[in-house]
Structure 1
Amino acid sequence: MFEVARSRLKAWLVAGIGTVAAIGVAGVMGAFGARQEPLPVLVPASGIETGQWLLRPLKAYSTEGENPYGVPLKPGAKALVLELEMTNRTAKSTKDYFDLLQAAQATVDPTTRPFIVLTRDSTLSPELHPGMPERMAYVWQLPDGAAPPASLDLTVIRKTYKQRDNLYGLPGWFNPAPVGTLKLPVGSGPSAADIRP
């Protein structure tokens, strides 16, 4: 009887020490894991590589009561527009650019995707061909009553190419992750003639 009680006590002590050790290790690892380095600040004037895309930001501006490049905004709405040059670095035509830029504005709903348009002919969400730089416009409609911000703050997202994904065994671009942040001053928009299709 004494031996049974002694072995149970020993088991509880070992389990207790193991639990305390596990909690300690988890705490230390959590403390180190929580320490994240800030994202690099990207320079708008230089090319930004995101795996699939090479980006060259050109300008950011706000518009009111216009439909820049024919984008279907609500009548009289204000919009935030980012124009940039995009080059498809892959071997196939693609329009995998909807999650490439994430607006960090308090005035822009981060769950709302922007309209993306080819500026030369106002095509909405076109496939871009490999190696051909194209001027594109990202257009975010601002909520009713929101004033345009002084700057457009973005997080740029990159993906990694894998020859085989884990689910289907097919090649593709996966694992989106932030590359850095981008801050552009927001100017006043061009004339209506410049932004109409």
Structure 2
Amino acid sequence: MAGIGTAAAIAVAGVMGAFGARHEPVPVLAPASRIETGQWLLRPLKAYVTAEKNVYGAPLKSGGKALVLELEMTNRTAKSTKDYFEVLQPNPAIIDPATKPFIVLTRDSTLSPELHPGMPERMAYIWQLSDGAAPPASLDLTIIHKTYKQRDNLYGLPGWFNPTPIGVLMLPVGSGPDTADIQP
């Protein structure tokens, strides 16, 4: 009897999992909008490709091109943080997921700075494009939202958890840093 009950439970769980696994498509976000991700408030400014060797001080390989996204980021938390590495996930067809961006504060070229609460800062995400890669016409990014929990289930400590895609942002890619900002 126990074997039949176990088999039935596994079958029901499998069927429920198969039908429950449907995911709704994530919405397309407006390029000129402010995007709230839990921890961060983002405002995309511009995306461009450049062949400059030293973009905001990022150590790029010479002779290659870089894809640059400039945006305004505001830390919405109560303390300084640099937990912004996973908030933007580029389309793997454009940028290899193993390629991590250099993230730079544009006003003084500080690499991976902690951003203070409530202070909007202009940041640049810089990805080195592989040699000979054609520059993309648009930069497609999945935006990730996290939820604040006063106490997590494992350690009982506060933090930002449950990363979830909230939308896809598609920005036109210009040529060079003089590309105009996206208008709100």
| TM-score when normalising by structure 1 | 0.84
Q: Secondary structure at the match of 1:31?
A: helix
**Match for residue 22 of structure 1?**
9
Query: How far has the Cα of 1:88 moved from its partner?
Result: 0.5
1:132-165 per-residue CA deviation (whole Å, 9 max, x = no partner) reads: 1111000011112211111101011111111112
**Shift of residue 189, structure 1, vs aligned partner:** 1.1
State yes or no: 1:130 paired with 2:117.
yes
Correspondence for 1:75 among 62, 66, 76: 62
1:105/1:152 contact within 8 Å kept: no
Aligned match of 1:44 in 31, 53, 66? 31
Structure 2: distance between partners of 1:149 and 1:67: 21
| Secondary structure of the corresponding residue to residue 15 of structure 2 | helix
Larger radius of gyration: 1
What does the per-residue CA deviation read over 1:105-144, in whole Å, with 9 as the maximum and x for residues that have no partner?
A: 4231112221000111111111111111111000011112
In 1, the alpha carbon distance for the partners of 2:14 and 2:157 equals 38
Counterpart in the other structure of 1:161: 148
Identity %: 80
> Structure 2 unaligned runs (5+)?
179-184
The residue that corresponds to 2:50 in the other structure is 63
| Contact kept? 1:157, 1:177, Cα under 8 Å | yes
| Structure 1 gap segments, 5+ residues each | 1-10, 192-197
Separation of aligned partners in 2, 1:88 and 1:19: 49
- Residue equivalent to 1:189: 176
Higher helix share: 1
- Compare relative contact order (CA 8 Å, sep 6+) and give the higher one, 1 or 2: 2
Amino acid at match of 2:132: G
1:100 to 80, 87, 109: 87
| Cα deviation 1:9-33 (Å, max 9, x = unaligned) | xx4xx744x3563354234312322
5 Å-filtered alignment, 1:103-118, equals: 103-118=90-105
**Distance across 1 between alignment mates of 2:22 and 2:168:** 18
Residues 107 and 45 of structure 1: is their aligned pair in 2 closer, same or farther, counting only changes over 3 Å?
Answer: closer
| Distance apart, 1:34 and its partner CA | 2.6
In the TM superposition, structure 1's runs of 4+ consecutive aligned residues that sit over 6 Å from their partners are none
For residues 44-100 of structure 1, what are the alpha-carbon distances to aligned partners after superposition, in whole Å with 9 as ceiling and x for unaligned? 211100000000001111011432111100011111110101001111011110111
Asked if the contact 2:53–2:61 (Cα under 8 Å) also holds between the matched residues in 1, the reply is no
Is contact 2:94-2:139 (8 Å) kept?
A: no
